[in-house]
Structure 1
Amino acid sequence: MRADENVNYHLARLLILISQFGSPDSKGLDGITKLAKLDFLLRYPSFTDRLLPSRNAAWPLGCEPSYDELESIESHSIRYKYGPWDNRYYPLLGRLVGYGLAKTSRGRDGVVIHLTEVGALLAYQLGQSEEWQVVAGRSEMLRSKFDLQGNRLRKMIYEALPEAAESLS
């Protein structure tokens, strides 16, 4: 991870996203692939917008993507390995674990991610803040409409959004 990147921003976003799937009393978020694909949908709402009809879903009120999000250069990002910044998931997840905000265990698809009580409380508090409400609302929608196994989620994204998979070879 480059030193000039806003690590706290990425940690907060992942914490909120994981909270929807990996609360302390849940089955957890199973797999880095699933985490990466969900985060891809969270970070790039222009792609998510195109998948919503297939899941009989709509953006939660107040969480719709802005014009800038739909038209920015980043909204045309192409996938690389797990996502646009795949090599950062492991160190960021390691930080969450190191800070006592998350814990991991072995699961069917590799690592299962859970938040600790402290991590769940922090994710809740962040999600209630004005700055993070949209991320929290979008994360909740992803849980309700895109809670699929990582490989199934990957396949759905690549079939519906072929330009997101062009860089595979």
Structure 2
Amino acid sequence: MQMVRVTAVVVVVLMAVTEAAGRPKADDPCSVTDFPVLCKSAVKNMKDPLSATAAAINALLPLTEKAKAEAQKGKSDGGFSICLSNYDSAIDNLNKSLKNIRENDGFSLNVNLSAALTNFETCNDAVDGSPAAKDIAKSAGVLRQMADNCLSLSTLLPQ
């Protein structure tokens, strides 16, 4: 009987911890992200998840444009051309995401942010280990982290 009570208490505690882990800390939407320092630099102490998500996307867009310009300067090998194509797609997906926010379309927002994240991951995979693409790979990694943060922030919005 004692074992049943202990097991029940453990289950209740684990459920509470698991549920709390998915919630942001009070007034800190970045607490749900995998890269909170990077998130906080993009959202500038915003407390509202909607504003924070839009700010994170708006911070990611110009960096993606810059990375695209760098990829255009690169060699015409597969990695650079794959990144170039994926950066174009990511920019399109991020712009759609901002439109989704304006239209309160949480489902499409998650779809478009997931697509942008995939675009950055594809570029990162294409240039991984290439000495000629060292800077592109580093940039793609940061962009991927920022996109991951955007997607995490979007989960705080109504669907």
Pick the TM interval, shorter chain. under 0.3
Structure showing the higher strand proportion among its residues: 1
Q: Calculate the TM-score normalised by the size of structure 2.
A: 0.27
Q: Calculate the TM-score normalised by the size of structure 1.
A: 0.26
The structure with the largest alpha-carbon Rg is 2
Structure showing the higher helix proportion among its residues: 2
Structure with more contact order per residue of length (Cα contacts < 8 Å, sep ≥ 6): 1
